[in-house]
Amino acid sequence: MLERYAPEDREAGHESREPMLGPSATWYLGVAAFLFSTGALGVLLRRNPLIVLLSLEIMLNGANLALIGYARHLGDGAGQIFAIAVMAVAASEVVVGLGLVVALNRRRVPLDVDRLNSLRG
Amino acid sequence: MIVASVGNVLVWAVWMAAAFACLGSGIAVVSFSNPFFSALALIGNLGSLAVLYLLLSAEFVAAAQVLVYAGAVMVMFLFVIAYIGPRQESPWAGGPSWQAVGAVLAAGALMVEIIVVIGLKASGSLAHSAHIGAAFGSPSEIGRLFLTDHLLAFEVTSIILLVAAIGGVILGEHARREVPGARALRARGSRSGP
């Protein structure tokens, strides 16, 4: 039973997939670039910290799409591992960011990233 | 041969639908004035990205995307938005400010930069993808990589999650206490703006 699921057996070639159907990796990278810059636009443009966090998620997802596109293109699983690690980092970032937003709201501080400038030098 | 070309057309059609849904919902997240609708659009964005991951034969990552992002993270976002209450903010109100123009220019420059770099450095090698085994992207393969080649990344990820959980608890607990700077910030916030 264990040998059936051994990766060496799967990679032996008698069960290999078709070559990549549909668009090539360039198209995926184009979508990833567009997503990343859309997220960057949101981070720079919006002043509500919640929407800044949502735009940050879009940026991270653009990077994830590029990682997974390259993983498929090169046939190397390390890109997918990296993408899962990025997901964990994004979840942590959301926890801390939303914690900050809730803390700001409890102190009746305005939710506007332009006015939160107490730490400016 | 015919089966292969039909499959190709099918994959192209699915890719087109998913990619345009992805780009459209990304723009919607950035441009909606209500954060609630932005969060809903981000759920659509994550779902269409999961379809793209499936096309790239990353089944486990697609499942994790739907479970972790569209499930857990977005539910947390929606809870916080509901807790804070609806706050409209129109990004284009009052004509284009220098800040908005600068942001659009910077984002456009970023996109042009990425596309030029990809086109210059990688366009030749991107035409033909590698052949992959049937196990590529499956949970067993991901698990094997996590516990052999990338064990350090796995452990560091668990530490990051632990630290984030502790940070969330601390932020939530200290939010009840009043700090000296908060009053000044409130006073500044009640003015009509800069």
- Kindly report, residue by residue over A4-18, the tens digit of the pLDDT: 444 444 444 444 555
Residue A25 contacts by C-beta under 8 Å, 6 or more apart in sequence?
A69, A70, A72, A73, B126, B129
Exposed, middle or buried: residue B46 (CB in 10 Å: 0-12, 13-18, 19+)? buried
Terminal-residue alpha carbon distance, chain B: 66
Of A28, A34, A89, the CB nearest to B23: A34
Question: What pLDDT score was predicted for residue A3?
Answer: 43
- Kindly report, residue by residue over A64-73, the tens digit of the pLDDT: 999 999 998 8
**pTM to 2 decimal places:** 0.84
Which alpha helices (DSSP H) does chain B contain, by range?
Answer: 2-31, 35-55, 59-64, 74-84, 98-121, 139-147, 151-174, 180-190
Element (H, E) at A37: helix A25-45
Residue B110 contacts by C-beta under 8 Å, 6 or more apart in sequence?
A36, A37, A40
Residue A81: band (very low, low, confident or very high) from pLDDT cuts 50, 70, 90: very high
- A21 contacts on B by Cβ (under 8 Å): 4, 7-8, 11
Question: Which of A106, A120, A32 has the alpha carbon at shortest distance from A69?
Answer: A32
Binding-face residues of A in 30-59 toward B, CB within 8 A: 30-31, 33-42, 44-48, 50-51, 53-55, 57-58
> What is the DSSP-derived secondary structure letter of residue B128?
S
Average of per-residue pLDDT across B167-193 = 68
Exposed, middle or buried: residue A58 (CB in 10 Å: 0-12, 13-18, 19+)? buried
What rounded mean pLDDT belongs to chain B? 84
Question: What pLDDT score was predicted for residue A121?
Answer: 67
Question: What pLDDT score was predicted for residue B161?
Answer: 92
Architecture of domain A48-113: Orthogonal Bundle (1.10)
ipTM, two decimals, is 0.83
Please give, rounded to a whole number of angstroms, the shortest distance from the CA of B25 to a CA of chain A.
10
Terminal-residue alpha carbon distance, chain A: 64
Cβ contact, residue pair B87, A111, below 8 Å: yes
Where are chain A's structural domains?
A: 48-113
pLDDT at B47 over 90: yes
Cβ contact, residue pair A81, B176, below 8 Å: no
Question: What pLDDT score was predicted for residue A118?
Answer: 77
Residue B51: band (very low, low, confident or very high) from pLDDT cuts 50, 70, 90: very high
